[in-house]
C-alpha cells in the first residue's frame, strides 16, 4: 500500500510531545448540547512546557533547525503567547538558546499580573532571552534584526514563524489528523481554536479567536497550499474546504465575551476542564454555538481539540473569578 504521508515521514523531526494524546468522551457536555458522541482530543496533554498544540509543530520546525546546524532560535509572540512558552521549553530541552520577541500593547486593557504571570513567567523560567517589542513596531523586521545581530555575534540562529505556522509546522497536525482517524474512524467533525493558521492548515476546521476571520482563512489557505505541496499532493488542495467560524471570537484577540464565559463555565462544571479565555475558552464557545446552531447531526461524532493554554488562566484573574461565580 502506498503511504500518502511518505513525504512527511522523511522530514527532520525531533520527538518532543507525549503522543498519541488521549481522546476522551465528553458525555455530560454532549448531553447538554444534544450530541450523542462528543469527544475531546487532549492536546493540552502533549507534555513539554505544560503542554499545548504547538509542541506537535515544533517537532518539525526544530528538527529542521537542528538539521540546518542552528544553535539558537528566534521567535515572536505576545506577552501571553502559548507558542513562546512552548518554544522556550523546547529550546531548554534541546540545549538551544532561545530569543523571544515579546510584543506588548496588543491589548488596550489587561488584568493584574498580565505582564508578569502565566506564560511570560514561564518564558523566563525556561531561560529565554526576552526582547521587548511594541505592537506598533514592524515586528517581522525586528525579529529579523535580532537574528542578524546573533549571526554577527557568531551564532547560528533559526527563525521560527509565529505559531510555528508554516508548511513544516502544519505537518504536526497532518499527523494529528492521522492520529484522530486511527483513534476514532467514525469522526465526522473536528473543531478547534484557530489563530495563526498552522493547526487548521493541517486539519481544516476552526473557530476564529482573533476576531479576524478573513485573515485567518487567508492564512490557512496559504499555509495549507504550502503544506500540500510539501506532501506532494498540491493538486488535491482546495481553498473552498477552509471554514473559519467567526461568531464566538469576542470583540478582539484576548477579550472574552459572554459566550467565552459560558464555555469556560460549562467546560469546568460538566467536564472538569480549566479553559483559558484567549484560546481554548473561545474554541469551546465555538463548539457550543455550532452545536446549538445545528451544524452537527445528533448522531454524528464530533471531536473538539483542546489546544492547551492553561498558564494563560493566571493572567486573567478577574475573568476567572467572574466565571467561577456563575450559578447554574
Using CA atoms, how far apart are residues 317 and 111, in angstroms rounded to an integer?
A: 7
Using CA atoms, how far apart are residues 199 and 280, in angstroms rounded to an integer?
A: 13
Neighbouring CB atoms inside 10 A of 101's CB total 24
Using CA atoms, how far apart are residues 199 and 194, in angstroms rounded to an integer?
A: 7
H or E stretch at 227:
helix 213-231
Rounded to the nearest 5 degrees, what angle is found at the Cα of 232, between the Cα atoms of 53 and 18? 25
Residues 6+ apart with CB under 8 A from 68: 156, 158
H or E stretch at 268:
helix 258-271
Using CA atoms, how far apart are residues 66 and 230, in angstroms rounded to an integer?
A: 19
State the pairing for strand pair 129-134/97-104.
parallel
Residues 6+ apart with CB under 8 A from 158: 64, 65, 68, 70, 72, 73, 74
Q: Which of 37, 81, 165, 196 is catalytic?
A: 81
Annotated catalytic residue 81: yes
3-state secondary structure of 125: helix
Using CA atoms, how far apart are residues 42 and 304, in angstroms rounded to an integer?
A: 9
State the pairing for strand pair 157-159/72-78.
parallel
Minimal CA–CA distance to 229: which of 315, 184, 166, 323?
166
3-state secondary structure of 101: strand
Active site residues: 81
Amino acid at each position: 500500500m502506498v503511504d500518502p504521508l511518505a513525504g512527511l515521514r522523511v522530514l527532520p523531526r525531533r520527538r518532543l510531545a507525549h503522543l498519541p494524546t488521549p481522546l476522551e468522551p465528553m458525555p455530560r457536555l454532549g448531553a447538554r448540547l444534544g450530541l450523542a458522541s462528543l469527544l475531546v482530543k487532549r492536546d493540552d496533554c502533549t507534555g513539554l512546557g505544560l503542554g499545548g498544540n504547538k509542541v506537535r509543530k515544533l517537532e518539525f520546525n526544530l528538527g529542521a533547525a537542528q538539521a540546518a546546524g542552528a544553535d539558537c532560535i528566534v521567535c515572536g509572540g505576545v506577552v501571553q503567547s502559548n507558542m513562546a512558552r512552548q518554544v522556550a521549553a523546547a529550546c531548554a530541552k534541546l540545549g538551544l538558546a532561545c530569543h523571544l520577541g515579546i510584543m506588548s500593547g496588543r491589548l488596550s486593557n489587561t488584568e493584574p499580573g498580565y505582564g508578569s504571570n502565566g506564560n511570560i513567567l514561564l518564558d523566563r523560567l525556561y531561560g529565554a532571552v526576552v526582547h521587548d517589542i511594541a505592537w506598533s513596531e514592524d515586528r517581522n523586521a525586528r525579529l529579523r534584526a535580532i537574528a542578524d545581530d546573533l549571526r554577527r555575534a557568531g551564532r547560528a540562529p533559526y527563525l521560527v514563524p509565529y505559531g510555528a505556522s508554516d508548511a513544516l509546522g502544519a505537518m504536526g497536525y497532518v499527523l494529528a489528523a492521522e492520529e484522530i482517524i486511527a483513534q476514532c474512524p467514525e469522526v465526522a467533525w473536528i473543531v478547534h481554536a484557530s489563530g495563526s493558521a498552522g493547526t487548521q492548515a493541517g486539519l481544516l476546521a476552526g473557530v476564529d479567536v482573533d476576531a479576524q476571520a478573513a485573515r485567518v482563512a487567508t492564512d490557512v489557505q496559504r499555509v495549507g497550499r504550502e503544506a500540500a505541496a510539501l506532501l506532494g499532493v498540491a493538486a488535491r488542495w482546495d481553498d473552498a474546504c477552509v471554514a473559519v467560524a467567526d461568531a464566538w471570537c469576542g470583540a478582539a484577540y484576548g477579550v472574552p465575551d459572554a459566550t467565552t464565559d459560558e464555555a469556560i463555565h460549562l467546560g469546568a462544571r460538566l467536564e472538569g476542564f480549566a479553559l483559558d479565555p484567549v484560546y481554548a475558552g473561545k474554541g469551546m464557545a465555538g463548539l457550543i454555538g455550532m452545536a446549538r446552531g445545528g451544524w452537527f447531526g445528533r448522531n454524528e461524532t464530533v471531536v473538539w481539540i483542546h489546544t492547551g493554554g492553561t498558564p494563560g488562566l493566571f493572567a486573567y484573574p478577574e475573568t476567572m473569578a467572574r466565571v467561577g461565580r456563575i450559578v447554574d
